[in-house]
């Protein structure tokens, strides 16, 4: 049995490792178009921000580690076509320019996504960057160290834009953030929370512009010297764009079922609509366990989990993913923000009935040093009181309370059950009634 995997990052390498472990006699071959494998892009904002210095720390496992397990890995090899009838992949050797065809018994597509390049944002200027690959990170860091820019403009106020902003501020740069919509992080948090983020960013010295559309750059001598929007111009020494991603699926035939954005539609085993072809990660859909829909959530956590599930299925073990809750977290300067399940905006869009409460409380006893504010929002079914969403914002471990909520939602806990859940009380960490108990008890 020959298993061929296209793409050697989170989803692809998780699948390769699992498949080889379960079916050591099968041939497992990975074709990666770049020069690195097993790279965690999640470290990029912190690498460019100077939190650590060795970019190799973003590589989870080296090529040789996989080769020792018997997995064959070919770098600089790009899949340019797939023929599902002949069960063949066309592979382009990017060094020699030669193409050859490789037969498979089972195929996995793990080609990920690339930054969405809006026409207005594209530029050849040497100081305009995207931040997705290992090379992007090395290039940005080199620019920061050699050119010592003072002013940076980040375009896009989603998770990646906010994380990059933290990195740049850590280096002492003056930062401007431009966001098209009227909220930062509006995809994952409701307005009660996004207003806290906006206040935090402004108090932290970020020049924040909401509801502004970038039209392009003013360039001089091959460099962008200002970002032009529909409302003004912002001087810059560098620009990083973070406006979303698009799945890398254009090289595949039309016979694949896709979501609207081009992501491959897969079931809970990661199977596409074509026989013996699987997909996972940023190039594919993922099953949402509350709504039962197949949705697009380009996060490493799903690339790894679905990659592993696909690995099992490639090896002949039928296993299904229980489903995603859309759990995500981010640091907004000094605030920790975690979200799991559905937001109010999502419920309204999907016509899902819900009730919601928002509370502000304290994270711990007042007599122990460093008591902080903490905010929470909980969404639940008005009839059954089963919890369907939660958002927690605060400091000192606030984000991990969202993880507790993920467990509660996954197990269909009601607000009453949350109110009396046996959570820890210890003065340095909580109050007698832990914040999440309070959140459950106020949700009537």
Ligand X SMILES: Cc1cc2nc3c(=O)[nH]c(=O)nc-3n(C[C@H](O)[C@H](O)[C@H](O)COP(=O)(O)OP(=O)(O)OC[C@H]3O[C@@H](n4cnc5c(N)ncnc54)[C@H](O)[C@@H]3O)c2cc1C
Q: Which residues are catalytic?
A: 42
Q: Toward ligand X, which CB reaches closer, 161 or 389?
A: 161
Q: Tell the smallest beta-carbon distance from residue 28 to ligand X (Å).
A: 15
Q: What tokens appear for 239 in the block?
A: 């620009």
Closest CA to 307 of 10, 26, 73, 5: 10
Distance CA 54, CA 391 (A): 34
Determine if 10 is a binding residue for ligand X (CB under 6 A): yes
Distance CA 119, CA 226 (A): 17
Among 2, 21, 132, 395, binds ligand X (CB under 6 A): 132
Give the three-class secondary structure for 48.
helix
CA distances from 266 to 162, 422, 440 (A): 30, 38, 35
Among 3, 4, 5, 8, binds ligand X (CB under 6 A): 8
Chain positions 157 to 196 lying near ligand X, rule: CB under 6 A, are 160, 163
Distance CA 226, CA 238 (A): 9
Q: Toward ligand X, which CB reaches closer, 11 or 107?
A: 11
User: What's phi and psi for 219, nearest 5 deg?
Assistant: -115, 140
Among 4, 7, 106, 224, binds ligand X (CB under 6 A): 7
Among 79, 173, 279, 332, binds ligand X (CB under 6 A): 79
Among 298, 338, 376, 440, binds ligand X (CB under 6 A): 298
CA distances from 243 to 160, 240, 308, 391 (A): 9, 10, 28, 23
Determine if 45 is a binding residue for ligand X (CB under 6 A): yes
Q: Where are the alpha helices (DSSP H) in 72-178?
A: 134-147, 159-170
* Alpha-carbon torsion (420, 425, 429, 433), positive or negative: positive
Q: Which stretch binds ligand X (CB under 6 A): 180-188, 209-217, 268-276, 296-304?
A: 296-304
Q: Tell the smallest beta-carbon distance from residue 251 to ligand X (Å).
A: 5
Residues binding ligand X: number (CB under 6 A):
34
Among 111, 127, 229, 343, binds ligand X (CB under 6 A): 111
Determine if 34 is a binding residue for ligand X (CB under 6 A): yes
Each residue of 314-339: b (16+ CB within 10 Å) or e?
A: bbeeeeebebbbbbbbbebeebbbbb
Among 121, 185, 303, 325, binds ligand X (CB under 6 A): 303
Determine if 130 is a binding residue for ligand X (CB under 6 A): no
- What is the contact surface with ligand X in residues (CB under 6 A)? 6-12, 31-34, 41-42, 44-45, 78-79, 110-113, 131-132, 160, 163, 248, 251, 281-282, 298-301, 303
């Amino acid at each position: 049995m020959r298993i061929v995997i296209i793409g050697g990052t989170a989803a692809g390498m998780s699948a390769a490792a699992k498949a080889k472990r379960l079916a050591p006699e099968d041939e497992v071959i990975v074709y990666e178009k770049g020069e690195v494998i097993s790279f965690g892009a999640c470290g990029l904002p912190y690498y460019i921000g100077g939190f650590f210095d060795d970019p190799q720390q973003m590589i989870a496992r080296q090529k040789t580690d996989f080769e020792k397990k018997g997995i064959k890995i070919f770098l600089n090899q790009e899949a340019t076509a797939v023929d599902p009838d002949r069960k063949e992949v066309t592979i382009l050797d990017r060094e020699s320019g030669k193409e050859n065809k490789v037969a498979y018994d089972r195929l996995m597509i793990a080609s990920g996504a690339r930054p969405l390049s809006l026409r207005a944002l594209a530029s050849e200027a040497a100081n305009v960057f995207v931040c997705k690959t290992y090379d992007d990170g090395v290039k940005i860091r080199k620019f920061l160290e050699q050119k010592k820019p003072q002013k940076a403009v980040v375009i896009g106020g989603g998770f990646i834009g906010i994380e990059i902003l933290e990195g740049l501020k850590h280096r002492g740069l003056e930062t401007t953030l431009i966001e098209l919509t009227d909220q930062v992080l509006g995809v994952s948090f409701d307005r009660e929370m996004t207003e806290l983020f906006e206040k935090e960013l402004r108090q932290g010295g970020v020049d924040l512009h909401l509801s502004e559309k970038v039209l392009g750059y003013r360039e001089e001598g091959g460099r962008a010297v200002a970002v032009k929007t529909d409302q003004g111009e912002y001087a810059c020494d560098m620009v990083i764009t973070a406006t979303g991603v698009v799945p890398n699926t254009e090289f595949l035939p039309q016979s694949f079922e896709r979501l609207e954005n081009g992501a491959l539609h897969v079931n809970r085993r990661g199977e596409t609509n074509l026989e013996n072809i699987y997909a996972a990660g940023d190039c594919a859909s993922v099953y949402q366990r509350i709504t039962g829909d197949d949705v697009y959530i380009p996060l490493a956590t799903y690339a790894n989990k679905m990659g592993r599930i696909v690995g099992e299925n490639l090896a002949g073990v039928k296993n299904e993913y229980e489903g995603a809750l859309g759990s995500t977290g981010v640091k907004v300067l000094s605030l920790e923000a975690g979200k799991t399940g559905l937001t109010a905006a999502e419920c309204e869009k999907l016509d899902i009935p819900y009730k919601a409460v928002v509370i502000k409380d304290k994270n711990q006893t007042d007599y122990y040093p460093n008591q902080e504010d903490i905010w929470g929002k909980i969404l639940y079914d008005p009839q059954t009181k089963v919890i369907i969403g939660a958002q927690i914002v605060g400091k000192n471990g606030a984000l991990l309370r969202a993880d507790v909520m993920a467990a509660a939602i996954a197990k269909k806990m009601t607000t009453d059950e949350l109110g009396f859940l046996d959570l820890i009380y210890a003065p340095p960490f909580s109050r007698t009634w832990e914040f999440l108990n309070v959140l459950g008890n106020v949700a009537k």
